[in-house]
Amino acid sequence: MTFREKIFSLGTAYSIVLFTAIFIVLGNNSEKKDHETKLIEKSGLIYEIGKDTPYTGAVKDTVQDKILEYYLIDGKKYGDFKVSNLKGNVEIDGVMNDNKNEGVWNYFYPNGRLESRGTFYNDKLNGVWKWYFPNGNLKAVGYYEDNQKVGTWKFFNAQSKIVREISYKNDNVELVRSFDFSSSL
């Protein structure tokens, strides 16, 4: 795998986790429960089974060994959105507004440490995103504008030394700089 493919995998891996969670909630037509209230998704809105008006209220559901918690207003997600494992450890947390990701989103390793953090605006990656090693050291930092990588992204080794910089313009690589720390001066 080339380095460029690895970089693509780094960015897409986190997006896949997020979009999978959202797909499970939005695209899953199976029944959902909120304290025995049975819910179903129709045309992007959540309804209580047997009712014609979109559902409003808190939802806590277990889907594919994950606990999803969020709040619905008129069938759309608003406010805090959280995905936890069955032990209750938070894996993803963020904010929804009108069924769209907004503001700061956090992704966590199984040990509870922060794995990545970044911001969304109108359901698109925007602003600074940071990824961390399981030990808490910075792994990478980069900037998105409307889901596209822009500016200089920096990549670090587990000892916090910069190993690579990649400059992007409109999601295209413009320049790659690698740093070698194996030689001594």
Nearest C-alpha neighbor of 67 from the set 126, 113, 24: 24
Residue 185 lies in a domain: no
CA distance 154 to 55: 44
Nearest C-alpha neighbor of 76 from the set 17, 26, 19: 26
Could you tell me whether strands 57-63 and 45-48 are parallel, antiparallel, or unpaired per DSSP bridges?
unpaired
Residue 75 lies in a domain: yes
Looking at residue 62, which CATH number applies to its domain? Answer: 3.90.930
Residue 183 lies in a domain: no
Query: How does pLDDT run across 143-154, given as a tens digit for each residue?
Result: 999 999 999 999
Residue 184 lies in a domain: no
CA distance 7 to 138: 15
Query: How does pLDDT run across 60-92, given as a tens digit for each residue?
Result: 999 999 999 999 999 999 999 999 999 999 999
Q: What is the mean pLDDT of residues 122-150?
A: 96
Residue 20 lies in a domain: yes
Count of structural domains, the chain: 1
Residue 140 lies in a domain: yes
Residue 141 lies in a domain: yes
**Listed range (18-27, 38-47, 85-94) with the worst mean pLDDT:** 18-27
Residue 87 lies in a domain: yes
Domain hosting residue 7, numbered range: 3-178
Predicted pLDDT at 15: 45
DSSP state letter for 12: H
Predicted pLDDT at 150: 96
